[in-house]
Amino acid sequence: MDFKALNREQVFHYSIYLFSFALPFDHKFSNNLVVLCVVLWLFTLPKINAIQYWRTYRLSILLFASIFLIIIPGIIHTENVRVALSKLETRYVFAVFPLIIFIGNFTNEQIRKACFWFCTGVVTSSLICIILNILAYQNADVLTLAEQFTYKILLGPLDLHPNFYSIYVSFAVLIALYEIAFNPQSRAKRLGLIIVILYLIALDVLIQSRAPLTALFLVLFLGIGYWIVKFQHARSKAILFLSAALVAFIVVFVTNEKIRGRFSISVSDIKDKMFRPDSEMDTNPQTMSTIFHLRCWYCATGLLSDYHFFTGYGSGDEKDVLIECYKSHDWIYMVDAQLSAHNEYLSSFLRNGLPEFILLLCTLVIPLIRSVRSEQTLYTAFILLWVLILFFCALNRQSALSFYAFFNAMFFKIMCEQPGRINHLAK
């Protein structure tokens, strides 16, 4: 490779690291960075044989781009064309990122660096939030300490919803654990990674976003179970880690009333107030949040009880049809907040029916199966995390879309180029 080509490839890799670092910051900043990096990548990509590239990766490109392409026919039968067109603006990353990533030249080491810079971005952005909240707490006596450093108030400086930032934190935990488990580390680096993991788990607990936090612990327990079965020489360490995690979780849950309350719901309250108007809602915020989720699912499933199960309502009509259902039950808060289905699987049905739902499943199930067969542990954890989270969240923020499309394409590319890769522990 000549010097100019080498420089061009280096710029391409450095821009990937920059984008990885910036993902956990303010979503408006990251949105602008997406456009900047895409333009930069188009000028710095190494020269390749385009025909050979298409023959090699055409099915993979179409698989990832299908979630974007399905929006186009959905515009035809939608009533809210403006919202449908806005989805084209936000979901273009499903087509652009795979195209660029598959053209680019990557190795495992470069993906490790991208993951490192992503974790650095998570830690840096969270420290900024903590410092700014400390300053705000010292200058105001309105909130208690527990309120100042939890949930939306904690993440106020980033202008990000706690659900999505918690996803970033959860994935950063998985990255650090993967580095300890599957890549040789010195004692100093191992100790540093352990400190980072403890910090990130504590941060995730403070954020108190239930779906990502629950998904993280489920993935961790599945991973530890895999260790116990697959790697006999690591069985004692896995059991010790599992026991310590359970004890720590129980201690935090029992001793911290605010965290315990965040995960506590009243089943009798839900049964009693599920279909009542918002004006009669006097339950605690945690139970109310759960009721809102159940109401969203109730309306979404009801709207799919006819032929719309197969056709959907159009790429831009998801919230419109849901809001009509909310109004019919006098759920005023949900109307004002314009709540989505809070479930990406149901959202895909509402937009374009069974075809989009099948495509969404394909983009999750096919990589999951292939990553398990290839023993790509971190990729498997990444997909499992999203499979679980999408039951409770709609993928409707640009930063979250970029994060998912970006890392999904990178992991898939490496998996295609290095099939059957065995983790270090298996040796």
pLDDT digits (tens, 9 = 90+) for 7-59: 677 777 888 888 899 888 866 666 677 777 777 766 766 555 556 767 777 88
Tell me the pLDDT band of 217, cut-offs 50, 70 and 90: confident
Give the position of tokens 């087509």. Answer: 95
Beta carbons within 8 Å of 193's beta carbon, 6+ residues apart? 176, 179, 180, 185
What backbone torsions phi and psi does residue 161 show, to the nearest 5 degrees? -70, 140
Does 231 score more than 70 pLDDT? no
Cβ–Cβ < 8 Å for 111, 410: yes
Cα dihedral 67/68/74/79 (nearest 10)? 120
* pLDDT the model gives residue 375: 85
Is the residue at 401 inside a domain?
A: yes
- Terminal CA-to-CA distance of the chain, rounded, Å? 34
**Within 10 A of 21 (CB to CB), how many other CB atoms are there?**
20
Q: Chain-centre distance of CA 250, in angstroms?
A: 26
What backbone torsions phi and psi does residue 167 show, to the nearest 5 degrees? -65, -45
Domain that holds residue 344: 265-427
DSSP label of 423 = P
Calpha distance 19→119 (Å, rounded):
12
pLDDT digits (tens, 9 = 90+) for 327-386: 998 888 888 888 889 999 999 999 999 999 999 999 999 999 999 888 898 999 999 999
Tokens at 240, concatenated = 């010790």
Give the DSSP per-residue string, 152-211. Answer: HHHTGGGT--HHHHHHHHHHHHHHHHHHHHHS---HHHHHHHHHHHHHHHHHHHHHT-HH
Calpha distance 94→96 (Å, rounded):
6
Give the DSSP per-residue string, 241-304. Answer: HHHHHHHHHHHHHHH-HHHHHHT---HHHHHHHTTS-GGG--S-HHHHHHHHHHHHHHHHHHHT
Is the residue at 92 inside a domain?
A: no
Packing angle of the helix pair 210-230, 235-255 (nearest 10 deg): 160
Tell me the pLDDT band of 97, cut-offs 50, 70 and 90: confident
Does 196 score more than 60 pLDDT? yes
Calpha distance 370→421 (Å, rounded):
11
Is the residue at 224 inside a domain?
A: no
3-state percent helix, strand, coil for the chain, nearest multiple of 5: 80, 0, 20
Give the position of tokens 């999951």. Answer: 368
Is the residue at 245 inside a domain?
A: no
Tokens at 350, concatenated = 């509402």
Is the residue at 14 inside a domain?
A: no
Q: Interior CA angle at 70 toward 50 and 386, to 5°?
A: 90
* pLDDT the model gives residue 302: 93
HSE, side-chain direction, 13 A CA sphere, residue 229: 6
* Number of structural domains in the chain: 1
* pLDDT the model gives residue 416: 83
Is the residue at 398 inside a domain?
A: yes
Is the residue at 190 inside a domain?
A: no
Calpha distance 71→50 (Å, rounded):
26
Is the residue at 1 inside a domain?
A: no
> How many percent of the chain have pLDDT more than 70?
75
| Comparison of pLDDT for 283 and 17, the residue scoring more | 17
Least confident of 28-37, 164-173, 222-231, 312-321: 28-37
Q: How confident is the prediction for the chain on average, in pLDDT?
A: 81
Helices (H) and strands (E) in the chain, counts: 22, 0
> Considering the entire predicted model, what is its pTM?
0.88
pLDDT digits (tens, 9 = 90+) for 288-332: 778 888 899 999 999 998 899 999 999 999 999 999 999 998 888
Tell me the pLDDT band of 2, cut-offs 50, 70 and 90: very low
In the chain, the amino acid numbered 48 is I
